[in-house]
Structure 1
């Protein structure tokens, strides 16, 4: 999508000091993502978005967190956010190319995942498909994750589903350095 056909115009620099401080905190000195620049154009939307408080590390490992985020974004068809996360975090999360591809094209029980990661992906898929977890799915998560981690998993799924709605609904152009969805085989 060209800049001229963008649904909602992003903020352009110079940014208000408060917004610039938020961008610096989230992006650690890198230029702010289009998503952030668009949302920050609405004071209320930006306040609610940043109040989600899920842009921090939390009780999951980086790898677990990124599996949840990548799978949620893949299931919602949000190439924008999936591509940003893969580009920025896949290496640090020690996700292999096969695992990255599996977040988009693989089943929850794909052999590349550990049993704990299979339970994690099954939970993401269930929440995406039915907005709930069966007793079996919850027991699968509970076998590997504590209560604080289970809350975080569910919250991340909901938060990144909302992020996906924003990016998809606003037809945000893909970030230049973001990864693209793998070809479906």
Structure 2
């Protein structure tokens, strides 16, 4: 059971409209969203600071950032949601999805640009900065707007991990589970 009970339908019309804008048709709002919506302030701040729009990164790179950040923070809830809803659309193979959790940035399944991206994500997670070599590597493949987006996504999804993990949110039905290290 989650530590804070999420809202249950029916939702207030304004809240339902928000859910309808961010959820695919026919998919009920995520438990995370319904839990945050128990506090108008938390829900408003989450939406205002969120990165639920497309942004300057292609979907594939965006999902690599999110999946790796969620894996590093051991946020099975959000990792599972993103893998279930976006991995195929982002063109991530099963090997790559598994690698977001279990492999180093240098795993052979990634392109050179993706290896630089994953090394940058790892560095931000572990040290909250990049050394010159890491920055030079990511800068070789991504422009300034994309680099800023990487930083913002890492920070935002770390916050999402704090919420999902801290609230002990149960995994959503039909979402992916962390792979076993075998």
Q: Same-fold call, TM > 0.5?
A: yes
For each residue in 1:35-68, what CA deviation from the matched residue of structure 2 results, as whole angstroms up to 9, or x when unmatched?
A: 0000111111101100114001100010000000
For each residue in 1:126-167, what CA deviation from the matched residue of structure 2 results, as whole angstroms up to 9, or x when unmatched?
A: 000001111111111100000000000000000000000000
The partner residue of 1:7 within 3, 7, 10 is 3
CA positional deviation for 1:28? 2.8
Unaligned runs of 5+ in 1: none
CA contact (8 A) 2:66 2:154 kept: yes
RMSD: 0.7
The partner residue of 2:143 within 141, 146, 162 is 146
CA contact (8 A) 2:84 2:174 kept: yes
How many residues align structurally?
Answer: 181
- Counterparts in 2 of 1:41-120, with a 5 A limit? 41-120=38-117
CA contact (8 A) 2:63 2:86 kept: yes
CA positional deviation for 1:15? 0.6
1:159 aligns with 2:156: yes
TM-score (structure 2 length as normaliser): 0.98
TM-score (structure 1 length as normaliser): 0.96
Structure 2 counterpart SS, 1:93: coil
| Structure 1 runs, 4 residues or longer, greater than 6 Å off | none
The partner residue of 1:19 within 15, 19, 23 is 15
CA contact (8 A) 2:76 2:177 kept: yes
Unaligned runs of 5+ in 2: none
CA contact (8 A) 2:70 2:158 kept: yes
